[in-house]
Chain A
Amino acid sequence: MFGLLAWISYFKPMKFITLSLLLLFTSSLLADIVVIGNLKNSNPMMSAREVQEIYMGRKRGLADNAIAYPIDNSDLRQSFYKHLTDRPIAQINAYWARLKFSGNRTPPEIVSDTADIINKVKANKNAIAYINDQHVEESEVRILFVIKNNNGTDKD
């Protein structure tokens, strides 16, 4: 039901500002998070585990042996990791701090703007990112994984 409302607010933003704000609010509260990749990404649909392993640096390769380039969405980061690892973001940061100290790993690039994210995904064949499903344009990116029943954005 929330998905339907979000969809409506996406198509009529200008006409119903109040409504759309409300809808935006509610949609961001209720929206699913979608993990997306480049259209050329030949990977089949991913499992939650695969997404986790790529984002936590455990698994680097994609299906065609290319090295994945994960991108963090600063707006959704907390709920994304909460959902994937059941860990607070502080621990995730600490985790990456350790890996960074060892010298040969880097955490995913953090990007704050959804459009930027989409552009980066479009530009890099191996890029993987996550965004609210309302921003997804299936002609632009491939949906690799859907996290249902997202509780809201990190910023709220």
Chain B
Amino acid sequence: MAQIRIKPLHHKLVLTVVSIMLLLAAVTAGLVYYYESEHAHLETEQTLNQLLDTVSLTASIAAYSKNEQIAQDVLSGLLKNTVVQRVEIASHEGFSLSHEKQSLPIGTSVVRNLISPFNVGEVIGKISLHASVNYNQEKAQQSTIFSIIISASLIGLTTLIILWQVKRQVSAPLSFVSNTLHAIEAGSVKRILLLNSHKQDELGRLGRDINALLDTLGSQFDAERVLREKVETAEQQLRHIYNSSSAGLFVLDEQGDLSNYNSTFTRILNNTRQINENLATNDLFKNLLGQQDEFALLIKQALASYQLETHDFPLVEAGRSAPRWMHCLLSKMIDSNGVVVLEGVIFDVTERVQNEEVVKREAYYDHLTGMLRRNPAKMQFESYLSNNPSANACFLLLDLDGFKQVNDTYGHDAGDQVLTIAAERLFKCVRVNDVVCRLGGDEFLIILMNDHDVSLKSEVANKMLESISQPISLDDTNELVSVGVSIGMTDLRLSKSTNFDTLIKDADQAMYQVKNDGKNNYQIKS
């Protein structure tokens, strides 16, 4: 749990309440000041009126008798009052007097007519009393200060009592619960101590609820721990299987980059160091597999389908002549996070591929001469024709002259040697694309593909006659032997057929004609 510095609730409460109280006190003070200002004015007015009541008779007498002395006495008597700032008294037919304490702005004024003491209703003069503004303000200020002191002490005292009670009844027990809960670690057997004084209220219920939650949490923790242990065991087992598997297992992301693999995978690739160094780029993996385009295609296929896609790849390695072959299976998976990944397996199938190669070689090629056998030659011809329907092709059927004699005289080994050397010489007389086939014994078939030039086949035939007729030195005895060759030729146009067997038969006829005419020559089908 993060360590947050705890600010106790009641501090916040104190702050809030005190702020609100201060605000209230300020507002109250403002209102009181406003009210007192108004009230002070009225009060002053009342005081001034009362003063006038007191002196009105004397003032009237002074005005009636036009007696300034009495008027002066009235004025100076009035001025002795603190309220009075300025006094004016005037008799209509006599004097007009005014006294003033200081030159201060006038706040409240009261003016009253002086009535004749002897003739009811007759106005004989005027008296006016003035109080200074300051007097009103001072009075208002005093009242305000007094009320502020009273209200502030009341508010403050009430606040203190409320806060004390809140702290005692709510905040402190809450802090107790909070601190206890804070100290309890998840899954522990500790529980919150329920306070007797709060059993019946919300705090008691909070405590009971928290304890119930802790109980539930504890049992869930236990259950989860058991489950986690199980999962861990299973994971370990799976990892063990994954790592000890005899297959190289790996995972690619959608871009075909290597994201995970087991130890067998590196062992099979036999290149742990490089893989570890290049995990991020991981083109290495594809480079290792040699055929990048085909690997990309395999990834594309695997992403497109939900089927298992397989392909064999040669593993190109420096310092090794023959490639090792990897059988690779890829399938698209969506992992637990919903991300598309490719799961792959590789097996080292070098031995099987090599065996297959041998079988294929033996099936396709004559073991002794390395020439195609008859059937593969036929397939190659037919596939050539199907790809190039308008093309011409020339069939040369060859039969060695004097081979039987060599065979009989020097044995089969010598015969085989002659056949091998003759084959080498024939390979040199044709182009790479031409078919060179051993039909059996000392009979060969050469198919010149796309032979437009009429002179070519004669040229090739002459080259062959020349080449074969060179003496051959036998390995064992160093004796020189010579053989010849009879060549019968035809082509598609001459035989008017595309049938492989028909063409051979036509060439065979021409070859027999050569044999009959003295051998070691060539003839074109007539």
Contact = CB atoms under 8 A, between A and B. Distances in A.
Contacts of B61: 95, 98-99
Contact of B66 (A52, A58, A95): A58
Contacts of B119: 49, 52, 85
B117 to A, nearest CB: 7
Contacts of B118: 52, 56, 84-87
Contacts of A99: 61, 65, 67, 70
Nearest to B73: A102
B69 A102 contact: yes
Interface residues of B, number: 13
B135 interface: no
A103 B70 CA distance: 10
Given A95-B61, A98-B58, A99-B61, A105 B117 contact: no
A58 B69 contact: no
B64 interface: yes
Interface in B53-89: 58, 61, 64-67, 69-70, 73
Interface string A86-118: 110000000100110011110000000000000
A50 B355 CA distance: 167
Contacts of B69: 102-104
A103 B61 CA distance: 14
Contacts of B73: 102
B67 A105 contact: yes
Interface in A47-100: 49, 52, 56-58, 84-87, 95, 98-99
Given A102-B69, A102-B73, A56 B64 contact: yes
Contacts of B67: 99, 102, 104-105
A86 B119 CA distance: 8
Nearest to B120: A86
Interface in B113-152: 117-120
A46 B104 CA distance: 49
A3 to B, nearest CB: 28
A105 B68 CA distance: 11
Interface in B383-426: none
A87 B118 CA distance: 7
B70 A98 contact: yes
Given A56-B65, A58-B64, A102 B70 contact: yes
A99 B117 CA distance: 14
Nearest to A91: B117
Nearest to B72: A102
A147 to B, nearest CB: 15
A56 B118 CA distance: 9
Given A86-B118, A102-B69, 13 more contacts: A49-B119, A52-B119, A56-B65, A56-B118, A84-B118, A87-B117, A87-B118, A95-B61, A95-B117, A99-B61, A99-B67, A99-B70, A102-B67
In order of increasing CB-CB distance, the 8 nearest A-B pairs are: A102-B69, A85-B118, A102-B70, A57-B65, A102-B67, A58-B65, A58-B64, A99-B65
Interface of B: 58, 61, 64-67, 69-70, 73, 117-120
Interface of A: 49, 52, 56-58, 84-87, 95, 98-99, 102-105
20 contacts: A52-B118, A56-B64, A58-B64, A84-B118, A85-B118, A86-B118, A87-B117, A87-B118, A95-B61, A98-B58, A98-B61, A99-B61, A99-B70, A102-B69, A102-B70, A102-B73, A104-B67, A104-B69, A105-B65, A105-B67
